[in-house]
Structure formats: structure tokens, C-alpha cells
Amino acid sequence: MNRGIRLRLITLNIAHGRGLAPVQGLASQARIRANLDRIASFLHRFHPDIVAMQEIDQRSRWSGNFDHLDYLRDAAGFPYSAFGINNVRSGLLNLSYGNAILSRHPLAVTETVAFGQRRVGEKGFLFAEIEVAGLRVPYVNLHLHSGRRIRRMRQLDLLIDWLKAKHRQRAAAWAVPPVICGDFNNPATRDDATAALLKHLSAYGTYAAHPRTRGTFPSPMPRRTLDFVLLPPGCTEVRTKVVRTMLSDHLPVVVDFTLDAHHAPPEKTHRPA
């Protein structure tokens, strides 16, 4: 079994490809494609293994009416991808968007969970099991509500219940507990969704939140840290970088870590009945 697998993860809210345009729907298709090209160039530069994106459109009138994930997968050269759609509306002002993952490693399992049934503004998460050097690494790409804390905490309750059930079903196949990342939309790690989630995750071992200090929003003058990567035990030698770039109103968080194969579950042995 391989040991010391080095991985790079990036999480970024791409703001529907509009860049720093303040209002959704005012950027032309050409402008959105140019913004996505800049994101693809950024991914070429940093060459991550996994990219978790929030506010990415499958086909929405307000963002050029084309599939942003397909565009980025081709432009940035990723062989694997998954979409987690949380919002769908048909008609003249059609839209379809949510969370997505790009990966250089096969996606063995994916699942999308929306927190509610609104057609616009709904949040949720995308789960994936990624195969890396014979190991299954679970990831959760999460987007929480940006306004009221009470709504974030309700969404978090749904996530925690889901994680408990998934852990009972799948933990034996995982190399480590789930890596959880995305746009948490809370103003601080203390007394909000990030802190509450870390408290729950302590049942699976000591998790760490990254970045520890650097703000991620708004990108021109970042004052708040909204975007996190929560790493489980078994992820060591961590290096974190918040990159100052104007790809969207959020700054990308780049986290490098070593996956310690000692945390992989032992192979099951079959005993005679």
C-alpha cells in the first residue's frame, strides 16, 4: 500500500462566473467565458488534485446559458467532474446551479443533497468518494446560507444527521473521515456553523480548520473568512494559502496535505460460517 500521498485541494465560490460584477445577470456571455478562462488559467498554475466550487451554473440565463463545469473541465484539463444541482427553474429565466467538483482522480461515488426546495437561492452539499492510489477519500463540498445564523445552524443539523448515517454505512471503506470544504458563510469560526461542525466532527477524531487567520471575502479587501477546508485525522503536513486574485468576490483557498495511509481501514477478512 502506498504511503504519504501528497494531495492539493482548492475550494472557491466562483460567483456564477461573473467575476467582480456586483449584480448577477449584467455580465455578457463573452465576459463570463473570459472569467472562466481566468479561473482555468489559475487551476493550470496551481495544478490541484481536487477543486470544490460553489455557485457554479449548469445552464442559467443570468450567466450565459451554458454549462460552466463542462467549460472549466475542458479548459483546465480535468478528466473527472461531478455536479450537485440545488436550484432549478425552467421558462424564460431558466437557471440551474449549485456545487461542483473537478478531480484528477476517479469519482467512485457522488451524491447531492439540497437543504430545501426553493428554486432560487437554495443551498446544499455535494458528496464524493475519490479514488486515490487504491484508497477511498470522502469529500463534502458545502455551501451554507449567507444571512441568518439560525438558518445556517438548521442546515448544519441536516448535514450532521446525513454524516452520521453515511459514516455508519461507508466508514469501513474510507481511508480517512470526510474532508469537508466550501463556503460556510459565517463571519468567524467561533459560535457559528464552522465551530459547531468541528465540535460534531470531533467524534471522528481531531479535525483542523484552514485557513486559520487569512480573510477570504470580499476578494478586493478581504475582511471575513467564509471559506474553509476542514481536514480530518490522517491528513498531515498541511500547508495553506489564500491566493489574492480577483477571480470572484471570494478568494480561493489552496490546501496541500499528505494522506497518511496508516489511517486506511484494514482489509476485511472472511471467516467461514
CATH at residue 97: 3.60.10.10
In the chain, which ranges are E strands?
5-13, 50-57, 80-89, 95-103, 107-114, 124-132, 135-143, 179-183, 208-210, 227-231, 235-242, 253-259
In a domain, 269, yes or no: no
Cα–Cα distance between 153 and 202 in angstroms, integer? 17
Residue carrying the nine cell digits 480573510: 215
Cα–Cα distance between 210 and 197 in angstroms, integer? 14
pLDDT for residue 87? 96
pLDDT for residue 272? 31
In a domain, 271, yes or no: no
**Torsion angle (degrees, nearest 10) of CA 216, 220, 222, 225:** -20
Overall domain count for the chain:
1
DSSP state, residue 224? B
What is the pTM assigned to this prediction?
A: 0.93
In a domain, 268, yes or no: no
In a domain, 84, yes or no: yes
Phi-psi region of 146 (alpha: psi -120 to 50; beta: other; left: phi over 0): alpha
Residue carrying the nine cell digits 499528505: 258
Cα–Cα distance between 41 and 35 in angstroms, integer? 10
pLDDT for residue 266? 41
Count other Cβ atoms within 10 Å, centred on residue 2. 11
pLDDT for residue 37? 98
In a domain, 103, yes or no: yes
For the chain, what is the total number of helices (H) and then of strands (E)?
Answer: 4, 12
Residue range(s) defining the domain that contains residue 183: 5-263
Cα–Cα distance between 178 and 186 in angstroms, integer? 21
- What residues of the chain score a pLDDT lower than 70? 1-3, 188-190, 261-273
pLDDT for residue 261? 62
Count other Cβ atoms within 10 Å, centred on residue 94. 13
C-alpha closest to that of 11 among 181, 139, 145, 187: 181
